[in-house]
Amino acid sequence: MGGEPWVGEGHARSAFGMSAAPETTGPQSEGPQHLPGRVRAVIEGIQPQVDAGRFAIKRTVGDRVTVEADVFTDGHDKVAADLLYRCAEDDEWQREPMQTLDNDRWRARFSLPRLGVHEYTIEAWVDPFETWRQDLVKRFEAGQDLSVPFLVGLALIDAAAGRAAGADAQALQDYARELQQTRDDPVSAYHRAREDELAVLVRRYPDPETVGRAHPPLSCRVDPTRARFSSWYELFPRSASHDPGRHGTLRDVIDRLPYIASMQFDVLYLPPIHPIGRSFRKGRNNQVGAQPDDVGSPWAIGAEEGGHKAIHPELGTLEDFRELVRRAAEHGLDVALDVAFQVSPDHPYVQAHPEWFLKRPDGSIQYAENPPKKYQDIYPFDFESPAWPALWVELKSVFTFWIEQGVTIFRVDNPHTKAFGFWEWCIRELKAEHPELIFLAEAFTRPKVMHRLAKLGFTQSYTYFTWRNTRQELIEYFTELSQEAGREYFRPNVWPNTPDILHEYLQFGGRPAFVVRFVLAATLAASYGIYGPAFELYEGRAAKPGSEEYLDSEKYQRRRWNLDDPASLRDLIARVNRLRREHPALQHNASLAFHPTQNEELIAYTKHAGRQGDILLMVVNLDVHHAQSGWVTLPLEAFGLSEAPYQVEDLLSGAHYLWHGPTNYVRLDPQGQAVHILRLRGRVHREQDFDTYS
C-alpha cells in the first residue's frame, strides 16, 4: 500500500468530519495515526437543518428547538450523546444530555431566550461505564463472580475522577474508595455501583480522545416574536389627508393611527416615502406621460430633492417621520418601510455614481426592460458592475439610515431582481448589529427563488396565497407551508390584496369575498396583511377586464376613502385581530390541520398551541354567492375529546353549540355568517409538543 493513501476519495479531508473533533481531522498521511481512531461513535442525520447546514433554521425568542440525530457505534457498547448549544457570540457551549428513542435515534431540546444567531451541534462517545453497569446487572443476576468486574468498574471510576475537578472529582474518588472497600461484600457493592448519581458523575468526564463532534455546528437565527406573529396594514400616506384637495402627509398618518390601532394591527407599512422622479413619470392608471398635477409612482424613487435617504417634501420632514414612528409605537404599531432598490432617472445616484448602472453602447443608461416592453422611468442597479462593492455598501447604508430613524421592519420590493449574494451579506451584516430587524421579501416569483431568499436571510416572505382560492388549492398550499421542510426557514406573510394585486375573487365576490379572504388570511397564517383602506372598504374595481390592477390605483394617484362607511369590515377585522392576540393557536403555523367537510365549498381546519391551549376550529364557506352546508369530521381522539357531547363556542358570534361525536353539521351563509371560528375545549395528546416554528 502506501503511495497516495488519501487520494482515493474526493472527500478525504472531511472523511471523518461527522465523527471527529475538529482539531484531529484532515491528515494527508500514509498511516492512520493522525486520524481520530479511538472515536467510535457515529453521528448522522441531524435534524433540523437547512441544506446540510448551509443556512440557519429560524425560530423566535422564547422558542425551543428539538434536535434529533442518529447516534450509534460498532458492536454492543452503550453510547452517550450531548446536545451542545450556545449563542454565537459566546465561547462556551451549554450541554444537554440526549435521550434515546427508537432505532438509534436520539433527542434533546434547547431554549432560546435571546435574539441573534445561535449554534448547535452534537457530541457522542462510547460510554464504557454505562456498558459496564448494564453488564454488571446481567452478571449479578446470573450469579457470576463479580470480583474482576468490580476492578474493571473501579478503573473506569478512577479514570473519570482523574479527568474531573472540584466537587465532582471528590465525589468520584469517594465512590471509588467505597467500592474498593466494600467489594468483599458484593451485594452492597453492587447496589452502590449501580446508583444513578455515580453514572451521572462518570458520564460528565468521558475520555476526550473518544469523543466525536458533529461539525461544523448548525445555526439557528432567533428573531423577535413579531417575525412569527404579525398583522400588517398598508396605506399610502399621500391619501391620508382629511382634506381631499390636499396631498396627505406623515402628520395625517399620525392622525390615522387610532383608526389603525383600533383594528388591532401590529405593523403599519408605508410604500416608499422618498422624492418621486419627474422624468418619464407615469400618469393616472399607469398612463405614459403624466399631467402636471399627477403625483407619480412612489416606486420611481429619487429626484433633485434626494433619493433613498430623503423624504418626499409633500409628505413632510424627517422629524415628522420620527414623530410618526414614536407615536405609532404608543399605539403598539411598528412602522415598516418599503425599500425598493431602483431609481428614477432623476435620482442623485445617477449623476454621482454612473458606474452603478449599465451603460448602453450609445452612452445612455440602461433603463428597465422586459423586451419588447420598456420602463424608461426606472433604472435598475447593475449588480455585475465592477464597482459592486461600493454599491453594496451604499445600499446597506440605506437600511442603516432608516434604522437610525427608529425603523426595525423593512418590506423589500422585488428582492429577487437583485443579487442573492448582496442580500445574504447585507441582512447578515445588519442583523449582526440589530438582531431585532425584520425583512419581508416581496418576491412573487418561482418557488425556488422565493425559498432561496428566505434561506439567505429574509425574515418573512410574501406568498402565493392571493392566487389560492379553492379548497384544494388552499389545503395543498398551506399544508406545504406549515408541514414541509421549508417551515424551518420560510415564514409566510399572506395578503388577500396588495396595491399590485386585486384578484378576480375580490373583483366579482363583493363584500362577502373580502370577508372570506380576510378570515382565511388571518387564521391560516400567523402573519398576514391587508392593503387598506381599499380592503376594509372592499374596493373591487379593476383597471380593465382580466387585469389584477386596481382602477384609479393609488400607485399613480391620491385617493379619498370613506372610513366611516357603515359596511366597512373594520369591526370584523378588529374582532379577528383581537382573537389572534388572545389565542396562541393563531400565532403559530405548525399545528395547522385540515379536516373533511363533505362539501367542496366548505373548508375546515384547526390550530392549537402546545398541549394545554384550546383548539380553534375554523370553517369557511368559500362560495360567496350561496349558503353551503356540510359535515365536519374531527379527529376526536387526537383532540382529547370523547364521543360524549362536547361544547363548541363560536368566538365571532358568541353562540354555543353542543356537538356529538366526530362528525357534526355546519351551515354558513355569505349573506349572514360566512365563517365560524369555534373553540373546542379539548386537549392535544402528542408524544411531543410542536416546536414553535416560523
User: Can you tell me the distance from the alpha carbon of 25 to that of 14, in angstroms, rounded to the nearest whole number?
Assistant: 7
Interaction with its own copies in 201-240: which residues (CB under 8 A)? 210, 216-219, 221
CB of 11 to its own copies, least distance (A): 6
Segment 439-458, which members bind its own copies (CB under 8 A)? 446-449, 452
Of the candidate residues 431, 487, 511, 595, the single one contacting its own copies (CB under 8 A):
431
Contact residue for its own copies among 21, 152, 501, 652 (CB under 8 A): 152
CB of 596: closest distance to its own copies in angstroms? 27
Q: How near is the Cβ of 58 to its own copies at its closest, in Å?
A: 12
Q: At which residue does the C-alpha cell 448582496 appear? A: 422
Q: Which is nearer to its own copies, 425 or 631 (CB)?
A: 425
- Number of residues interacting with its own copies: please give it, by CB under 8 A: 101
Choose between 141 and 197: whose C-beta lies nearer to its own copies: 141
Residue 392 makes contact with its own copies by CB under 8 A: yes
Rounded Cα distance, 514 and 506, in Å: 6
- If binding is defined by CB under 8 A, does position 7 make contact with its own copies? yes
Instruction: Kindly tell me which of 154 and 617 has the beta carbon lying closer to its own copies.
Output: 154
By beta-carbon proximity to its own copies, the closer residue of 369 and 582 is 369
Binding of its own copies at residue 91 (CB under 8 A)?
no
Decide: is 4 part of the binding site for its own copies (CB under 8 A).
Answer: yes
What does the H/E/C string look like for 388-430?
Answer: HHHHHHHHHHHHHHHHHCCCCEEEEECHHHCCHHHHHHHHHHH
Question: Which one of 413, 488, 554, 601 is the catalytic residue?
Answer: 413
Q: Least CB distance from residue 186 to its own copies, whole Å?
A: 15
Question: 217 with 118: CB under 8 angstroms?
Answer: no
**Dihedral sign from CA coordinates of 116, 122, 123, 127:** positive
DSSP state of 640: T
> What is the torsional sign of CA 442, 445, 447, 448?
negative
Binding residue for its own copies, selected from 37, 113, 244, 354, defined by CB under 8 A: 37
Q: How far apart are CA 438 and CA 460, in angstroms?
A: 7
Binding flag, residue 186, its own copies (CB under 8 A) = no
Give 140 or 657: the residue with its C-beta nearer to its own copies: 140
CB of 598 to its own copies, least distance (A): 30
Q: Is 54 in the site for its own copies (CB under 8 A)?
A: yes
The DSSP secondary structure of 329-391, one letter per residue, reads HHTT-EEEEEE--EE-TTSHHHHH-GGGSPBPTTS-B--EEETTEEETT-EE--TTSTTHHHH
Tally of CB atoms within 10 A around 90: 12
Position of cell 418561482?
Answer: 446
DSSP 437-492: -EEEEE--S-HHHHHHHHHHT-SEEE-SGGG--SHHHHHHHHHHHHHSGGGGT--E
Q: Confirm or reject binding of residue 141 to its own copies (CB under 8 A).
A: yes
| 104 vs 168, beta carbon nearer its own copies | 104
By CB under 8 A, name the one of 63, 68, 82, 119 that touches its own copies. Answer: 119
Asked if 413 contacts 338 with a C-beta cutoff of 8 angstroms, the reply is: yes
273 or 395: CB nearest its own copies: 395
**Helical packing angle, 250-262 and 318-330, nearest 10°:** 10
- Considering the rule CB under 8 A, would residue 110 count as an interface residue with its own copies? no
The only residue of 18, 198, 350, 494 in contact with its own copies, by rule CB under 8 A:
18
Residue 151 or 563: the one with the smaller Cβ distance to its own copies is 151
Is 424 a binder of its own copies (CB under 8 A)?
Answer: yes
Report yes or no: 529 and 440 within 8 Å, Cβ to Cβ.
Answer: no
The neighbour count for residue 25, using CB atoms within 10 Å, is 17
From the list 32-40, 500-508, 581-589, 686-694, the region that binds its own copies by CB under 8 A is 32-40
Query: Of 44-52, 186-194, 254-262, 305-313, which segment contacts its own copies by CB under 8 A?
Result: 44-52
Residue 442 bears catalytic tag: yes
CB of 171 to its own copies, least distance (A): 23
51 binds its own copies (CB under 8 A): yes
| Nearest-approach distance from CB 218 to its own copies, in angstroms | 7
Q: What does the block give as the cell for 142?
A: 446470573
Output the CA angle 138-142-147, nearest 5 degrees: 80
Q: How far is the CA of 585 from the CAs of 195, 216, 266, 591, 614, in angstroms?
A: 43, 35, 17, 8, 8
- Minimum CB–partner distance for residue 392 and its own copies (Å): 5
Kindly state the DSSP code that residue 198 receives in the 8-state scheme: H
**Beta-strand (E) ranges in 98-226?**
99-100, 105-111, 116-126, 211-213, 218-223
Under the binding rule (CB under 8 A), the answer on residue 101 touching its own copies is no
Nearer to its own copies among residue 16 and residue 693 (C-beta): 16
Site for its own copies in 583-622 (CB under 8 A): none
Contact between 117 and its own copies by CB under 8 A: the answer reads: yes
Cell of 469: 382560492
Shortest reach from residue 50's CB to its own copies, in Å: 10
* 130 touches its own copies by CB under 8 A: no
CB closer to its own copies out of 429 and 614: 429
Interatomic CA distance for residues 52 and 49, integer angstroms: 6
Nearest to residue 179, comparing CAs of 155, 159, 211, 209?
155
The piece of 37-45, 157-165, 636-644, 663-671 that touches its own copies (CB under 8 A) is: 37-45
Is 40 one of the binding residues for its own copies (CB under 8 A)? yes
Q: What share of the chain is helix, strand, coil (3-state, %, to 5)?
A: 30, 25, 45
Decide if residue 39 touches its own copies (CB under 8 A): yes
* Binding positions for its own copies, 344-383, rule CB under 8 A: 360-362, 369-372, 383
Least separation in angstroms between residue 177's CB and its own copies is 17
133 touching its own copies, by CB under 8 A: no
Q: Check: CB of residue 313 under 8 Å from CB of residue 238.
A: no
Nearer to its own copies, 38 or 192 (CB): 38
User: Which grid cell sits at 620?
Assistant: 369557511
> Rounded CA gap, 198 and 157, in Å?
9
Q: Of 48-56, 297-305, 514-522, 540-548, which part binds its own copies (CB under 8 A)?
A: 48-56
Residue tagged active-site, from 234, 442, 536, 691:
442
The CA angle 20-98-131, to the nearest 5 degrees, is: 75
The catalytic residues are 413, 442
